[in-house]
Copies of this chain bind each other. A is one copy, B any other.
Amino acid sequence: MQTITSKENSLIKHICKLKEKKYRNEYNQYLIEGVKLVKEAIEEHANIEYIIISEEAKSSELVAKYLKNVLQSTEYIQVPNNIFKLISEVEKPQGVLAVIRKNLEDIKIDYSQDIILALDGIQDPGNLGTIIRTADSVGLTQILISKGTADPYNSKVIRSTMGAIFRVNIIECDNFSKTLKMCQENNYKIIVTSLESKQSIYDLKLKKKVIVIGNEANGVSKESLELADERAIIPMLGKTESLNASVATGIILYEYVRQKISH
């Protein structure tokens, strides 16, 4: 155990920088906060660079319950509560935070999966995190994201994934259209949802499909629309004409589950 007591300490300053996307990109690191997330990161063998624990947290019940063994066997840094507040991004910190190194390997797309999820400009961090969580729950091991999508290493995204961020490969595509075309070359059909389509998602055979989920306000981009092999609609029975993006994604991914288990 190390102890840091000055807020001028270079690691403390470095951690504060990681709250901003630009520094997360520069250093290829991101922050996770909270007892459960740190526990998941350890269990999933994420690349943990530092674990920071506040004085208060060391004797908290929550930490005792979830991280007792960790604190006995892992290197961590202890800081006073007032310094923890500086690095924390939540109102009521649990006093546990870690710096994680992004997975920098050149991740190849796994073309053996039935479904590839491709996010085309999802903006809301809560939506993005929930989508990653849902994708993990149906066994997807990867998600493609376009340049215009929110930063998956934003703290709100991470929180909403409930740990799924450590299991799902997030593949950031420099050229989204090109990546979609590569999927087509590997025998996938590109599916976009469209309010104008007459084809219901329930009539699609959800196998070897790339599901493109568009931006909350504007839907999928023109480029993706042009590449689409099929357009499909989630049929609605009420007056509301649109669904929350993470709910829409859940509906489509679980239609895939339904088809898979009923065969």
Chain A interface residues toward B at CB < 8 A? 126, 130, 133-140, 160, 162-164, 167, 200, 202, 234-244, 246-251, 254-255, 257-258, 260-262
A137-B242, A140-B238 known, 18 other contacts, Cβ within 8 Å: A130-B246, A130-B247, A133-B240, A134-B244, A135-B238, A138-B236, A139-B236, A164-B240, A202-B258, A202-B262, A234-B254, A235-B257, A246-B247, A247-B247, A250-B251, A251-B251, A254-B254, A254-B255
The reply to whether B202 and A237 form a contact with Cβ atoms under 8 Å apart is no
Please give the distance in Å from A115's CB to the nearest CB on chain B: 10
Q: With A200-B261, A247-B246 known to touch, is A238 a contact of B139 (CB < 8 Å)?
A: yes
Closest 5 CB pairs of A and B: A247-B250, A139-B237, A139-B238, A137-B240, A251-B254
Q: With A133-B243, A244-B130, A246-B246 known to touch, is A138 a contact of B238 (CB < 8 Å)?
A: yes
Please give the distance in Å from A93's CB to the nearest CB on chain B: 18
A237 to B254: give the CA distance in the assembly, Å.
Answer: 10
A135 to B239: give the CA distance in the assembly, Å.
Answer: 10
| Subset of 12 A-B contacts with CB under 8 Å | A126-B126, A130-B244, A130-B246, A133-B244, A137-B239, A137-B242, A138-B238, A167-B240, A200-B261, A202-B261, A248-B250, A251-B254
The reply to whether B237 and A137 form a contact with Cβ atoms under 8 Å apart is yes
Give the one of A139, A238, A248, A251 with max B CB within 10 A. A238
The interface residues of chain B lying within 8 Å CB-to-CB of A257 are 235-237
The reply to whether A162 and B242 form a contact with Cβ atoms under 8 Å apart is yes
The interface residues of chain B lying within 8 Å CB-to-CB of A202 are 258, 261-262
The reply to whether A239 and B162 form a contact with Cβ atoms under 8 Å apart is no
The reply to whether A247 and B126 form a contact with Cβ atoms under 8 Å apart is no
Please give the distance in Å from A11's CB to the nearest CB on chain B: 31
